[in-house]
Structures are given as structure tokens and as C-alpha cells.
Structure 1
Amino acid sequence: MGTRIGRHRNLPAFRLPALRLPHLHLPALRPPAFSGRLHDPRTATAIGRWLGVALAVCFLTGLISHFLQSPPDWLADHLPSRPVWGYRLTQGLHVGVGLAAIVLLLAKLWAVYPRLFVWPPVRSVRHALERLSVAVLVASGVFQVLTGLLNIAEWYPWPFSFVPVHYAVAWVVAGSVLLHLAVKAPEIRAHWSSRSAGTLALSDEERDGPDRRALLLGVGAAVGAVTVTTVGQSFTPLASVDLLAPRHPGYGPQGLPVNRTAAAAGVTDAAVLDWSLEVLGPRPYRLTLAELGQLPPSRARLPIACVEGWSVDAWWSGVRIRDLIERAGALPDAGVRVVSLEVRGAYRVMEMGREYAQDSLTLLALRLNGDVLSADHGFPARIIAPNRPGVLQTKWVTRLEVL
């Protein structure tokens, strides 16, 4: 009897147990909520006033520094050599106020950063332009203070030349500030006084007043602390507390700081072994160091002021530049070109207009505070002139050319 193998229809079907996944509650994407009450127009306006003044001072003093370092041809002969402390004051302000502006900029960004998260991000063409202008202002402002801070520390981790880029971006900052003021003028006007006329109710303003005053007091204290602990590098009465300054005015060879040493400039002992000064003009001549020392001496107390912000007074002795170029046949309105022994450097060749060249305090210095110049201070001879950036006080001078 045969058997037929087939499917058993009465057996229950085999099924895998159902896999139950936990229910995930994904929050809806929405902008963050800010509970702090001081992220408001009144606080932003109060801090913005201080920041605006700081940026204006930095811009104006920066222009002075730029034109003293790189004057156009039409201005070169008219740059003033007096007061002798002029560049010391303006560059000290530029660096000191610039450091204070870092604190103010951070406080300002803290007050307004919730507006980065407004939703929708763009409500109209005008709103889009406003946000774009703010983005340019913030980006250029942060760039300026950051690169300026690294410059005074003499650290350059970027591939571009600092001076022209810093100068160009300063104009971007200035234009962005003016555009921002124009766009925000109604809001600034409404919140300029101590009691807001804007969206805050009177009770809210009264409640926030003490907190806002505490915030502004803290910001002011931070600005004061940064200023007091850095300004001593140029304002020497506070030199003993310049804890955060990159330079101390009394530290260095012969009691003065040095930014560029002889080794860094490639000036060796062999290079100055048979040194002589060449003066080119209608009646060219050459002098050895001993012959220079026999000329009528001149002595002046002048500050050396560096673009990084430090400055210090010193006694300089040597020969007046105008006497040297006059001997070479220079006319009374002549300028001078100065050439250094250094083998590399952006300021190896420097020019002085007639205001500097003819000033009785502009010296080819041979001594510093009564002692022969050290190698790092420019031995055998260097330039010292009143109201002049330190990078243009050329060291290791080997040639003067009458212009």
C-alpha cells in the first residue's frame, strides 16, 4: 500500500515573534529659547556706545600710524616731527584701546547673539541686508582685534602681510559700523536713554535695571583691569603693573626692549669690522667710525615707540643728520634715504622727508644712555628721530643718500 507525502494542513503555521522597537520621541527642530533678560536692545546699546568710541579711536590712531609708516609721495615731506612724543601717544592709544575693545566686543556679542537664532532667519529683503551687514561687521571686527592681538605678540600664523591687510580691513570695519548705525538708528535712539522707550514695559525696565547696571559695571571693571595691566608698556608710570603687556619698557639690552636682534637681521661681527658711513649727494664722502666720533656731537632725549605699543624715553648721542647731508651738498629742503647693513627685512631701506631730515633732533646715534650702542641696538650707528615709528628708526646704518 503506497504512502503519499504531502503538506500537513492541520498543523499550525510557524511565525517569528514580532520585534517591538522602543518609541523614539524626536523633538521638533526649533530655535533655542533664551531666558536671560539682558539680551535686549538697551543693554546692546549701552555697550555699543563704549565699543563705538573704542573703534573710532583705534581707526583714527591706526590711520596716523599707517601714514607715518607708509606715507604717499605728496605727504612724505609734510609729516610733522613734533611733538617728539606724538607717535608714542597715538600708538600707545591704538594698542591700549584696541585691547580694551576686545572685552567690549565680547560683551557686545554676548548681548546680541540670541538674534542669530531668530526664526525665520530672513523676513524681507531689508532684513536680509541688515543681517548681511551685521555678519560683515562681526567678521571684520573679530578679525581686526584678533590679528592685532597676535601682532603685538609678534606671532604671525597667517600667509599674508599683516600691515596692508590690517589697514584694508580697518576700512571695512569703519564702513560696516556706519552702515549698522544707519540701519539701527531708530532702535538706538529709542534705547539711548536710561529708560527704554522700546518694547520693554516700565515694570520690566525697573526689574532689569539693577542687573544691567551690574553687568555694565563688570564690563567696565574688566576693561579697566586689561588697561591697567597693559598700558604700562607705553605709559611708564604704570610699568610696574604691566602684567599682561607683551613688553616691559625697561627690559632689554641697555635698558630698552629690542624687537629685532642683530642675529635676526643677519648683521655679524665681520659685517661691521671695517665699517664706514657712505654719504651720497652732490659732494659724496665716506667717514669711519672714528671720524664720525670727531664731528660736533649732539645729544637728545627722545622716545623710541614701537608699532606693537611699547615705548620708552632714552638719551641718544651722535651727529645730526642735517649736518651730514649738508656736508654732502644737500639743499635745505632735502630728504634722505637710509640703507641698513641688514641682509633681509621689510625696512632695510627707509626714507625720511624734509621735516625729519632737517630737524635738529634727528640723529645718527652712536651712543645710548651714554654707552656705545650694543649690536642689538644698531652698532655702529642707527637713526633716532622725533615722532617716528620704531620700525623706521633704522639700525646698522651704512649709507645715507640725499634726496
Structure 2
Amino acid sequence: MTPPAPPPPSQGRTAAPRKQKGWRLPLPPVRPPSFSGRLHDARTATSVGRRLGAAFLVCFATGLISHYLQHPPGWAAGLLPGRPVWGYRLSQGLHVGSGLAAIVLLLVKLWAVYPRLFAWPPVRGVRHALERLSVAVLVAAAVLEVFTGLLNIAQWYPWPFGFVQTHFALAWVVTGSLLLHVAVKVPDIRAHWSRRSPGTLELPARDGPDRRSLMLGVGAAVGAVTLTTAGQAFTPLARLDLLAPRHPRHGPQGLPVNRTAAAAGITDRAVRDWLLEVRGPVPYRLTLDQLRSMPRAQARLPIACVEGWSADAHWSGVRIRDLLERAGARRGAGLRVTSLEAGGAYQVMEMGRGYAEDPLTLLALELSGQVLAPDHGYPARVIAPNRPGVLQTKWVTLLEVL
């Protein structure tokens, strides 16, 4: 018997695909990106954004303190405060800590809003074009600011431009564009600031638990980053200092260093023939033995670096004001300090009268009861209260009364 013919394919069944000729496979059709994930909404963006704004505010304010302590305007050079002695240590620790927290928050913020960054059409008018341009500037400047800051903490500079000047300029760009963005988004921010805001009624209720879980995870991530890095400045957390590039007690004589004697070009001959020259109305020179024979002073002061690490230490040496008085300096005179270091941005440093006359400002000869190690500035270095570490000049060879 002849077998019955197969039934025709029903309307709901799919016909078998035809066999392709050769080895070419069919390519899937090209479709525009689809952003169907949840929590990419104004409520989530506002929740993350207000925390990111707070981190940027702290980072910007403490960054200004750091910059103007390192590069004070001429009129303010003699007015910088030497108290509290731990002031720069606190402000720079907050600067680095808030900057690291901002990296986590910025990534989450970009995740929450990235579908809007790819909205189509990209421009719907002049006002919309200006808004998107301001957002582009804000995103680009913020990403560059926080990640160059992160690399600066590790002292890695894979770029041709000067970090300090660029970082300072970008801080103003980020702050200005952030204020402009907030001004444009005030209606959205007001509507979604809290759960009781009227605008939140439009959001699906099922997203509430997921949003709370997201914010809890963001808080945990920020907390983890803070706990594992803050120990480089906040010594009670030093045992948890796992992700920071410095430990406050690791280094010669139990203190970290950024620039070693070898990196600074300090030779044995230069140290062997060392003399301290003091220029003023009554100039003079001192050998190391003569300097050691002068009345000594001691101080417990932190060394605080711009990269965020800091530690307290006991210093012993001669008061700067005694050396200036012997040179015939008038009251209120400033000071210029020159290092044996061969070049470098901080080979020459100036300090105003407030620091020069402070009884805690020393030309230090010993650290923790021991002669300074070469990497800590042997034969002599400056140590002063509430000063960035880059201005605590090492390998001092010349003091000039201003």
C-alpha cells in the first residue's frame, strides 16, 4: 500500500528551516539597543545622586584646602594656620576618602541613568542640546577627575600633563557643571527626593524592595572601600588597610616615604661635605656637629602626604625661629628653604611668617630618637604643624630669610 501523504503544516506550526547552501550562517537582524532593566528611573538616580553630590562637595572643599596650603596666594602666605597641628591630616584624609567613595557612587549613578545617555533622537531642540552638552561635560570631567585622583594615590602618572594643575582645574569644571545639572533637574529632584514625594506615586510599587536592596548594596560597597583604605590616615583602622597603597607604619624608622634619597639624587659625597648655610642680615654656616650642639626642641607632629596617608611621629631638632634669629631676621620674616635634591617641583619651598615663627617648626635631626634615615632627609629636614608632606623639605642645605 502507498503510505498516506503527510498532513499539511498547521497554521500554528513552524515549517522546518531550509538547508543553507555552503557554510554561511544567517546573521541575526541588527536591532537598536533595548534598555528594559528596572531601576533605571528618576527615583534611583536621585537617591544615588544626592549621596554622590555630598561626596563631591566634601572632596571639592577639602581639595581647595589642600591646594591653597600647597600654593597659597601671596597675600595669604603669612596667614595660613598652624593649628590644629593635625588639620591637614584630617582634611586630606577626608579628601581621599570622599574621592574613593565618589568612584563607587559615580559608577552606580551612571548605571542608573545610562539608558538616557543613548536616547534617540539625541537632540530634540536647542534647550535639549544644551542640557545634553552639559551632561556630557559633567560625565567626562567627573570620570577623569576621580580616576586620575585614584592613580595619583598610587603615584602612577601615565599621562603627559601635570597632575596638580589639571586636577585642580577639573575640580572647578566638575563643580560648575554639577551645579548647572542640578539647576536643570530641580523639578525631577524635588519630585523624587523622598518616598513621600508626589512623583514617586507614578513608579511601580514592586520596584521599592529592589531599590532599597540596591541602595543597601551601594552603602555596603562604600563602607568596604572606606574601611579598607582609611587606615593609611586613620591609624586605629591600620589593621584593615588592605586596599590602600600605603600603611602608616611601613617604611624606614616605621614611617612611610614617597621619595627616596636615591630617587632624589642624594649622593654620599654631598652628605659627607654637608653644611647648612643661613642667609640673612647676619649670614653664617654650620656643620652638622655645630647644628647638633645648639639648643634642642622636640615635637610630636604628623607627616601627612597629599596622596592621603599620614602618621604621627616624634621629632627632635633645632627651632627654625632660633636659626632665623641668629641670622638677624626681623620679626615677621618669611623663609625660603632649598634642598640638596637634584631638581624636582619641591626642591625650593617657601613658608610664611606664621610657620617660621611657630615654636613647633623644627629643622629636624632625629626621628623617634634616632638619627634621620637617608630616605627621611638626613642630615636635616623641615617639620612643621599643619603642612602638606611635600612642603616638609628633606635634605635641607640652605635657609634664606625673606
Could you state the TM-score of these two structures normalised by the residue count of structure 2? 0.92
Contact 1:304–1:311 under 8 Å retained in 2:
yes
Instruction: Render the CA deviation track for 1:44-89: whole Å, top value 9, x for unaligned.
Output: 0000010000000010000000000011111111111111000000
Question: Residues 20, 264 of structure 1: CA spacing in aligned structure 2 closer, same or farther, 3 A cutoff?
Answer: closer
Q: Which residue of 2 aligns with 1:174?
A: 175
Instruction: Render the CA deviation track for 1:207-226: whole Å, top value 9, x for unaligned.
Output: 11100000000000000000
Instruction: Render the CA deviation track for 1:164-222: whole Å, top value 9, x for unaligned.
Output: 010011000000100000111111111111145337636x1x21110000000000000
Letter of the 2:86 counterpart: W
- Counterparts of 1:141 and 1:42, CA distance in 2: 21
Q: 1:188-199 to 2 correspondence within 5 Å?
A: 188-198=189-199
Instruction: Render the CA deviation track for 1:232-253: whole Å, top value 9, x for unaligned.
Output: 0000000011100110000000
Q: Which residue of 2 aligns with 1:7?
A: none
Q: 1:60-209 to 2 correspondence within 5 Å?
A: 60-198=61-199, 201=202, 204=204, 206-209=205-208
Q: Which residue of 1 aligns with 2:368?
A: 369
- Give the 3-state SS of the residue equivalent to 1:42 in structure 2: helix
- Counterparts of 1:68 and 1:196, CA distance in 2: 43
Contact 2:301–2:314 under 8 Å retained in 1:
yes
Contact 1:42–1:196 under 8 Å retained in 2:
no
Letter of the 2:321 counterpart: R
Compute the displacement of 1:102 (Å): 0.5
1:213 equivalent in alignment to 2:188: no
- Give the 3-state SS of the residue equivalent to 1:318 in structure 2: strand
Compute the displacement of 1:33 (Å): 1.9
Compute the displacement of 1:27 (Å): 3.5
Contact 2:43–2:200 under 8 Å retained in 1:
no
- Give the 3-state SS of the residue equivalent to 1:339 in structure 2: strand
Q: Which residue of 2 aligns with 1:252?
A: 251
Contact 2:88–2:388 under 8 Å retained in 1:
yes
- Counterparts of 2:28 and 2:216, CA distance in 1: 42
Structure 1: gaps spanning 5 or more residues: 1-18
- Counterparts of 1:129 and 1:24, CA distance in 2: 43
Contact 2:35–2:115 under 8 Å retained in 1:
yes
Letter of the 2:195 counterpart: S
Instruction: Render the CA deviation track for 1:130-183: whole Å, top value 9, x for unaligned.
Output: 111000000000001110000010000000110001001100000010000011
Compute the displacement of 1:117 (Å): 1.9
- Give the 3-state SS of the residue equivalent to 2:198 in structure 1: coil
RMSD over aligned CA atoms reads 1.6
- Counterparts of 1:77 and 1:362, CA distance in 2: 14
- Counterparts of 1:52 and 1:361, CA distance in 2: 38
Question: Residues 81, 199 of structure 1: CA spacing in aligned structure 2 closer, same or farther, 3 A cutoff?
Answer: closer
Q: Which residue of 1 aligns with 2:303?
A: 304
- Give the 3-state SS of the residue equivalent to 2:398 in structure 1: strand
- Give the 3-state SS of the residue equivalent to 2:199 in structure 1: coil
Instruction: Render the CA deviation track for 1:325-370: whole Å, top value 9, x for unaligned.
Output: 0110111101100000011211000000011001000000000000
- Counterparts of 1:26 and 1:96, CA distance in 2: 47
Letter of the 1:185 counterpart: V
- Give the 3-state SS of the residue equivalent to 1:262 in structure 2: coil
Contact 2:340–2:395 under 8 Å retained in 1:
yes
Q: Which residue of 1 aligns with 2:50?
A: 49
Q: Look at both structures and tell me which one has the larger radius of gyration over its CA atoms.
A: 1
Question: Residues 377, 20 of structure 1: CA spacing in aligned structure 2 closer, same or farther, 3 A cutoff?
Answer: closer
Q: 1:253-402 to 2 correspondence within 5 Å?
A: 253-402=252-401
Compute the displacement of 1:121 (Å): 1.1
Instruction: Render the CA deviation track for 1:350-401: whole Å, top value 9, x for unaligned.
Output: 0000110010000000000000001000000000000000000000000100
Question: Residues 315, 20 of structure 1: CA spacing in aligned structure 2 closer, same or farther, 3 A cutoff?
Answer: closer
Contact 2:56–2:102 under 8 Å retained in 1:
yes
- Counterparts of 2:133 and 2:318, CA distance in 1: 57
Letter of the 1:176 counterpart: S
Question: Residues 343, 119 of structure 1: CA spacing in aligned structure 2 closer, same or farther, 3 A cutoff?
Answer: same
- Counterparts of 1:197 and 1:36, CA distance in 2: 23
Letter of the 1:342 counterpart: E
Instruction: Render the CA deviation track for 1:85-137: whole Å, top value 9, x for unaligned.
Output: 00000000000110111000000000000112211111111111111100000
Contact 1:278–1:398 under 8 Å retained in 2:
yes
Contact 2:45–2:112 under 8 Å retained in 1:
yes
- Counterparts of 2:374 and 2:28, CA distance in 1: 70
Question: Residues 364, 23 of structure 1: CA spacing in aligned structure 2 closer, same or farther, 3 A cutoff?
Answer: closer
Compute the displacement of 1:29 (Å): 4.7
Farther-moved stretch of structure 1 (226-235 vs 190-199): 190-199
Compute the displacement of 1:24 (Å): 6.6
